[in-house]
Chain A
Amino acid sequence: MSTGEKYLVAAYLVFLALVLVYVAIMVARLGRLERDLAELRERAAEREAAEERAPEPVA
Chain B
Amino acid sequence: MSLYGKGLRPLSIATAAVLTGALVMAFLYAPREAEQGNIQRIFYIHVPLAIVALCGFVAGGVFAIQHLRTRDRSHDLRSYVAIHMSLILAVGALVTGSIWARGFWGHWWLWDEPTLVSFLIVFLLYATYQPLRFSIEDPERQARYASVFAVVAGAFVPLNFAAVRMATERTHPRTLTAGGMPGEVWLTFGVALVGMALLFVTLWKFEMAAKHSRFELKALRRRLTGDAGPAAGRSAAPQVTA
Contacts and interface: CB of A to CB of B under 8 A. Distances in A.
Contacts of B92: 14-15, 18
A2 B225 contact: no
A19 B45 CA distance: 13
A40 B45 contact: no
Interface residues of A, number: 24
Contacts of A47: 224
Interface centre among A11, A22, A40 (most CB of B within 10 A): A11
Given A3-B103, A26-B210, A33-B217, A8 B42 contact: yes
Q: What secondary structure prevails in chain B residues at the interface with A?
A: helix
Contact of B224 (A10, A11, A43): A43
Interface string B25-57: 000000000001111011001100100000000
Contacts of A37: 217
B88 A40 contact: no
Nearest to A7: B103
Nearest to A29: B210
B49 A15 contact: yes
A2 B99 contact: no
